[in-house]
A and B are shown apart, each in its own frame.
Chain A
């Protein structure tokens, strides 16, 4: 079903306990098929904002509407259903060390109960494309930082999500590979996925013309 908005934040604020608000009055909309960079100084709350979108944090005030549904009214299964439409690249990769790289990348499909034979060739091809074709049978513990990054990206894009959240996805790779990964994200965007890419890398942002969400002092400014 086509929806007019992927995500809408209305006056969203977040504080931990009785501390000061770390995110204040965030109001923005993410349209379908859109691409936005999320940037700002370290500690500005980029990861926290991504966690709010991913529903692993609850806002202390304001409304979040994801894929046309009020997040505050969702039960756990409904949240899981929405999460299946979101791909996430975590800053710390969050790969499972006891699984092989192949199994990590295939994990979103496996938890959906899909038969392994139905996705094997796609997973292998994606792993080859991100340069992990020869490393698919090894656990993440023997991968380099860059390789882990690529495995995490492959896992996030595996299900061709409606919304992709990437937290510093090019932080551990060299510039040529960063460009290649950005190309992967832009291609996903071209095919209909909305992208939120959190990064410090201005060179990377200069390579693709997209909205920039700048977080500073808890406030969000949007530059189109």
Chain B
């Protein structure tokens, strides 16, 4: 029920009536005069108008649920894309900061001397921050996960590893040429690995974006169907609004207001659910730290934390879902009203 200050209305209406009656002395003229007179500036309390489209005419709950699910899926996808994107950047940057020199034992050569020479050449190169020469024992240790501790490795010519930390853009071409003068020495700057990693990450991001687009499209279609259903259920109201002088824009605004509210509600619920999932996953990943599984997740997704940008993306997606709901409902109303002509 509208909130009307009846006492104030009664007082103001009586004053208006008295003014009109004095002016005309005629009951009918008083009524008509009052009906058409300009506002006499009486201070009246404000009231809230009832919505012209009854809420019951729009299957609100079902639509909010659909929008919430769509917003949840879209936010989850956007968050995952953001996660993969930042993890991929971290991988590539970490890999690009390190190169590996492999010294394969050669018959008739002193491998330790070759390692020392290669390390010295590398240290002298521009852009090299640190050179970490793996001892024979350390190099052997690297094979243990595959061959086991009981395997006798002393007779096997195991390559020696030199890990090199670099900064900026070192001249790997010149360094490689210099190292090539030592037999059995090769430089691996991880270029192929980085390229494959980039391709995989970009493919995942692309798939994520396509899924995001499909989810948003499905949301739009669901809203379009819901709007058409709501219009069919309110056809009489629309007719009356037209007949008393309502424009298409006015009618579309009534629908838009309804659907904006539903969109914000659904988008908010879906976005919050997605944020809750990411927060829970982040907390869970912390529990796994220092476990083999946790290390793998950590290697893949970093700390499995979305960061402000990721949460921002989820909020934006929820907002976009609400916006799509509003715009699609408005366009659908306009299109259907044109069809009513």
Contacts and interface: CB of A to CB of B under 8 A. Distances in A.
Main secondary structure of the interface of B (DSSP, over half): helix
Nearest to A106: B49
Contacts of B31: 125-126, 129, 184
Interface string A179-202: 000011001100100000000000
B32 A188 contact: yes
Given A137-B4, A183-B28, A187-B28, A80 B245 contact: yes
Contact of A116 (B36, B49, B243): B49
A83 interface: yes
Given A77-B247, A129-B27, A137 B1 contact: yes
Interface stretch (A11-19, A152-160, A208-216): A152-160
Interface stretch (B39-47, B155-163, B287-295): B39-47
B245 A84 contact: yes
A63 interface: no
B48 to A, nearest CB: 9
A83 B248 CA distance: 13
A208 B37 CA distance: 26
Interface in A92-150: 94, 96, 98-100, 102-103, 107-108, 110-113, 116-126, 128-129, 137
Interface in B1-45: 1-2, 4, 9, 12-13, 16-17, 27-32, 34-37, 39-40, 42, 44
A155 B240 CA distance: 11
Contacts of B17: 125
Interface residues of A, number: 45
B244 interface: yes
6 contacts: A80-B245, A80-B247, A111-B245, A116-B47, A120-B44, A191-B36
Nearest to A193: B32
B243 A125 contact: no
A125 B44 contact: no
A193 B291 CA distance: 87
B245 A122 contact: no
Contacts of A108: 244-245
Interface of A: 54, 56, 76-77, 80, 83-84, 88, 94, 96, 98-100, 102-103, 107-108, 110-113, 116-126, 128-129, 137, 155, 157-160, 183-184, 187-188, 191
Nearest 9 CB-CB pairs, A to B? A129-B31, A84-B245, A111-B246, A160-B36, A125-B34, A98-B54, A118-B39, A108-B244, A187-B28
B237 interface: yes
Nearest to A83: B245
Contacts of B244: 83, 88, 107-108, 111, 155
B35 A125 contact: yes
B9 A124 contact: yes
Contacts of A187: 28-29, 32
Contacts of A94: 236, 239-240, 243
